[in-house]
Each structure stands twice: as C-alpha cells, then as structure tokens.
A = this chain, B = another copy of it.
Amino acid sequence: MLDDKQPQLTPLEEIGEFGLIEHLTKSFEIQNESTQKAVGDDAAVLNFGERETVVSTDMLVEGVHFNLAYVPLKHLGYKSVVVNLSDIYAMNATPTQILVSIAVSSRFPIEALEELYAGIQIACKNYKVDLIGGDTTSSTSGLVISVTAIGSAKKEDITYRDGAHENDLLVVSGDLGAAYLGLQVLERENEVFKVNPNVQPDLAEYEYLVGRQLKPEAGRNVFELLKELEVKPTSMIDVSDGLSSEILHLSKESGYGFKVYEEKIPLDPMVIKTAEEFGINPITCALNGGEDYELLFTISQEDYDKIKGNPSLTVIGHTTEQNAENYLMLRGSDSAVPLSAQGWKSI
C-alpha cells in the first residue's frame, strides 16, 4: 500500500514518542466551536452549553478487523473514524470530536502512520469533526486503533435503541450486504496474489462492493434527511454486525418482536450477482455480513407518508407484540424463520 519506490522511510525511534502525536496531528484544524482545547494537554476540553454530549468508542485490531495485505492504511484511517461516527449518527446526534489511540510495532515506519493519519484527517474534514486527543504507544505485534467519538444533540432529539412501540415500521437506509461481499472479493484476490504475485488484480467490476468495504460512509445523509423530513425515529441503531443482529438488539431493548420481509431487504444488483458467483444467498450477506454502516430504525406508522417513495429509505418490516419472537418472512410464501445473530468470532 505504500509505494515501493519511496526511497527513505523513517524509523519511529527517530522522532521520539512525544513528538509523534504532534507530528501526526499538526495539520489538523479545529472545526467546532465546542472544542475549547484539542490535542496537547492532559485532556481535551469541550463545551456543549445546553446540549447533550454523546460518546462512543470502537477498537480495530490488525488480523481481526483488517488485513494490511489488501487494506491501504489511508482507507483504514478513514474507516476507523467513520465506524465511530456511525454510532453517533445512530443516536440521532451530530459528531463533533474524536480521540484516536494507536498501538504500533516498530515495523511500521513513520510514513505508514502518516498514511493512516492522512485518512483520519480526510474523515475529520468530510464529517467536520475535530481530532482532540489520543495516545500513541508501542505494540509487540500488530496495529491496534482505538477511536472514541463525541457528539452533540438536543435532549429531545436523541434516539435510543429501546424506543420502538407496537406496530412501528422498521426502516433501513441504502442497501445491505455489499461490504461483506467486498471483503470476500478482496480475500479471494489476496489468495490469488499469494500463489502468483505477478497477477494484477482486476477489481474494476467489483468497485462498488470493494468501496463499501474499504471506504464506508457514516449515516450523515440519512441523519440530515430525517431532520428535513421531520421524522424522529422511535429507535435507531447502525448496521455494523449485520441486519439480523441489529434487529435483535432493537427487539431486546424495546421488548417488542419484529417481522422482517425477505423480499423487502434492499440489495444492490452487484450484491445479487456477486453472491451468486460466490455461491452464497445474498440475503445471508445482508442478515449476517455486517459493516454496511447503514442506519436501521423504527418509525411510527403516522410518519409513513413522510418517507414513502424516498429512494434512500426502505420499509422492511414492523414490530409485532411485546415478548414476541423475531422472524424473517420468506419470499413468496407464508413461511417464517426465526432471526438469529452470529456469535463471538474466535480466532
């Protein structure tokens, strides 16, 4: 991912631990009035006045969440921010600040970390969030990135996971399953490359899928669209672990059962085509694949007219009754299968 022709790489030892964060973050600009003090003291200082502060954190581990054989560091930096901002949008809040900590072994030269931070910076600019702190430390093995995102919202706007009511509609933004298939494509190309390093991968056909995997976007457009449509979801979550698992969260927290209709789940044509190529059911990619970072939410039936026909939003089901089971209603039949989540992925 780094150009092999780069003549000189700088070992981390040369810059010193204290200089590193400053070196990596000196070109970051403050974009939020609420940021009183960013990187450079024991702690950052924020001021949200009368608004609520929301905070979320996520950790990405080399060999678990990413493989540097096919994930460019700049994309990784971008994605590590976006997955955290996605959690803030899922609260119906505006992200405003992030903190980024990395543990890194000395096999990474400074230029590699600069690539990572270049991606972090692009995400900060695109989403108008300020980098306000972090920690940089050695690691005995791979790269670990921990991001904490902070956001702000009016108290009455915050949307929790537990707010669904009886017969609310279940809505998802965008389409599902593409990020998972993008990963399958990248892993397949990587296997080919390992056998024959002279084969140049041709990923053009899979651009949409690979882009969804390597450079996902957080739900800002949907967040803004809902504000514009004057729809406040009754509950909301982001789709990071797969549709099935997220529905189970909304069900558990609200106490209501959900019915989801297979034929309603939005799939891009490339998802259907590539799933077939891999011999997988595309619905399985949507249900269990994860990393789509779409927003999944419930709305009152009264709000249906506001979202009806919007190309970014699809009604895929509804809540049923308290303590009811969660079902996937199969296409073109009255059959239903219970929804289940993927478990802990051990390694």
- B62 touching A140, Cβ below 8 Å: yes
**Which of A140, A238, A249 has most chain B Cβ within 10 Å?**
A140
CA distance A137 to B15 in the complex (A): 31
Shortest A138–chain B CB gap in Å is 5
Residue from the list B138, B158, B345 in contact with A347, Cβ < 8 A: B138
On chain B, the residues within 8 Å of A249 by CB distance are: 18
Bin the interface of chain A by size.
Answer: 35 or more
Q: Is the CB of B61 within 8 A of A137?
A: yes
**Chain B contacts of A53 at CB under 8 A?**
45-48, 53
Bound form: Cα–Cα A162–B45 in Å: 14
Q: Does B55 lie within 8 Å of A46, measured CB to CB? A: yes
Copies of this protein, total: 2
Q: Among residues 63 to 85 in chain A, which have CB atoms less than 8 Å away from a CB atom of chain B?
A: 63-65
Contact of A61 among B43, B138, B238, B346 (CB under 8 A): B138
A245 to B17, CA, bound (A): 11
User: A44 on the interface (CB 8 Å rule)?
Assistant: yes
For A293-315 the 0/1 string (1 means CB < 8 A from B) is 00000000000000000000000
Q: Is the CB of B36 within 8 A of A52?
A: yes
Contacts A55-B133, A140-B142: A160 and B101 contacting too (C-beta < 8 A)?
no
A55 touches which of B91, B99, B135 (Cβ 8 Å): B99
Residues of B contacting A113 in the complex (Cβ-Cβ under 8 angstroms): none
> From residue A144, how far is it (CB to closest CB) to chain B in Å?
5
A-B contact pairs, 8 of them (CB 8 A): A12-B344, A43-B54, A43-B151, A44-B54, A49-B50, A57-B133, A61-B139, A103-B144
